[in-house]
């Protein structure tokens, strides 16, 4: 399997249960997830964890982690100063093809709209600078 240019030996991936057990034991937050990212970085040269920074309709945002079974979505709604994102482990689930299509389409709409807005802002800041 190859994702984002990284060849992945599935035998070295953690399972969904191993990820959730680790986070339950060490803290359901981004600080603990960083330890998993470090482990994956060491084995694969890539963290294999992606932050999906916009709401998917039910939660503020989520992390996607590559696991043996597929792609694990771990959402969060709260962020705190010391532990950063507070993960909702009870809401963690494997992403289906349909879920991935939704995330792709949703993020594309979000990013296209943001880029258009930024381009408009740049245009008007240039116009204002000239006057």
Per-residue model confidence (pLDDT) at position 34: 97
Instruction: For the chain, list the strands marked E by DSSP.
Output: 2-3, 6-7, 49-52, 61-67, 70-80, 84-87, 93-94
* 79 lies in the same domain as 89: yes
Total number of domains constituting the chain: 2
Residue with tokens 């309709």, as numbered in its chain: 57
Partners of 72 in beta bridges: 65, 94
Whether this prediction's pTM lies above 0.85 is answered by: yes
Domain that holds residue 23: 2-95
**pLDDT tens digit sequence for 117-130:** 999 999 988 877 77
* 20 lies in the same domain as 60: yes
* 23 lies in the same domain as 64: yes
Rounded to 10 deg, the angle between the 16-26 and 30-44 helix axes is 130
* 87 lies in the same domain as 104: no
Please state, in angstroms and rounded to a whole number, the distance separating the CA atoms of residues 57 and 67.
24
* 51 lies in the same domain as 103: no
**pLDDT tens digit sequence for 74-125:** 999 999 999 899 999 999 999 999 999 999 999 999 999 999 999 999 998 8
């Amino acid at each position: 399997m190859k994702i984002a240019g990284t060849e992945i030996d599935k035998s070295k991936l953690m399972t969904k249960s191993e990820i959730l057990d680790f986070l339950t034991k060490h803290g359901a937050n981004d600080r603990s997830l960083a330890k998993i990212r470090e482990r994956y970085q060491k084995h694969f040269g890539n963290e294999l964890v992606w932050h999906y920074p916009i709401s998917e309709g039910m939660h503020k945002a989520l992390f996607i982690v590559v696991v043996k079974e597929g792609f694990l979505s771990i959402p969060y709604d709260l962020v705190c100063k010391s532990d950063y994102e507070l993960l909702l482990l009870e809401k963690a689930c494997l992403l289906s093809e349909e879920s991935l299509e939704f995330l792709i389409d949703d993020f594309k709409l979000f990013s296209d709209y943001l880029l258009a807005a930024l381009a408009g802002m740049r245009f008007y800041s240039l116009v204002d600078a000239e006057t």
